[in-house]
């Protein structure tokens, strides 16, 4: 592993701790307010659907030259939160291409994960959460050689993941917690993921209703 990869893994570790320590300080300010105003009454909270339509992510990967790099991915998720528990489905994908002479290879990577997250610190406008995920991933390779095209689907592999993050909720008039945003760190474990674990940093924005 090169120095750059070690540096970025250190950055992700700092972000992981920073999310929790930073948001904890914000939450302490909420605790200082009257309890009935700052703390959510989970026993009376109705369930909410969460739709994250904008979720840019930076993910660690291995380039064709076998150098550890970070790249942008597409990320979409929908979930349901009841009290402190959130169940969600997440789809992620990215692609890259390499070329040598008259040969060009396009790789398309796809992931589908089911998440179980627990909001262990939850207040009126903030919450901290962490959880486990499980699912599968696959790669589709398309090779262009001269005027010929060959496609190959790599067998699907199981995928396991851990995450930790902080979420903010914004109410608009009578629409309580309508806008939601989150900053999340993920670690994904798969048989062929390289480097492993694959690290991701995600900013999420969406709605809850």
Backbone φ and ψ for 174, nearest 5 degrees, come out as -85, -5
pLDDT for position 57: 86
- The string of pLDDT tens digits covering residues 32-55 is 544 444 444 444 567 899 999 888
Percent of the chain, pLDDT > 70? 75
pLDDT for position 152: 86
Per the CB < 8 A criterion, the answer to whether 69 and 61 are in contact is: yes
pTM score > 0.85 for this model? no
Is pLDDT above 90 for 128? yes
CATH class of the domain whose range is 3-208? mainly beta
Q: Per-domain residue ranges for the chain? A: 3-208
- Structure letter (DSSP) for residue 46: P
Residue 189 or residue 4, greater confidence:
189
Question: Average pLDDT, stretch 109-122?
Answer: 95
pLDDT for position 15: 60
Q: What is the dihedral of CA 190, 194, 197, 199, to 10 degrees?
A: -120
Question: Average pLDDT, stretch 145-172?
Answer: 91
- Would you place residue 22 in the very low, low, confident or very high pLDDT band (cuts 50, 70, 90)? low
């Amino acid at each position: 592993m090169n120095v750059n990869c070690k540096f970025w893994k250190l950055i992700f570790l700092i972000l992981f701790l920073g999310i929790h320590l930073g948001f904890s300080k914000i939450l302490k300010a909420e605790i200082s307010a009257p309890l009935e105003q700052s703390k959510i009454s989970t026993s009376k909270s109705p369930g909410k659907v969460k739709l994250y339509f904008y979720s840019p992510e930076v993910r660690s990967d291995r380039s064709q030259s076998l150098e550890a790099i970070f790249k942008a991915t597409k990320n979409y998720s929908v979930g349901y939160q009841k009290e402190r528990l959130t169940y969600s489905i997440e789809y992620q994908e990215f692609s890259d291409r390499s070329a040598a002479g008259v040969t060009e290879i396009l790789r398309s990577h796809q992931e589908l994960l089911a998440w179980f997250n627990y909001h262990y610190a939850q207040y009126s406008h903030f919450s901290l959460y962490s959880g486990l995920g499980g699912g599968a991933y696959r790669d589709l390779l398309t090779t262009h050689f001269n005027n010929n095209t060959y496609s190959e689907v790599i067998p699907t592999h199981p995928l396991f993941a851990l995450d930790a993050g902080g979420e903010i909720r914004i109410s608009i008039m009578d629409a309580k917690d309508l806008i939601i945003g989150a900053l999340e760190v993920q670690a994904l474990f798969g048989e062929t993921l390289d480097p492993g674990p694959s690290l991701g940093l995600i900013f999420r924005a969406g709605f809850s209703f």
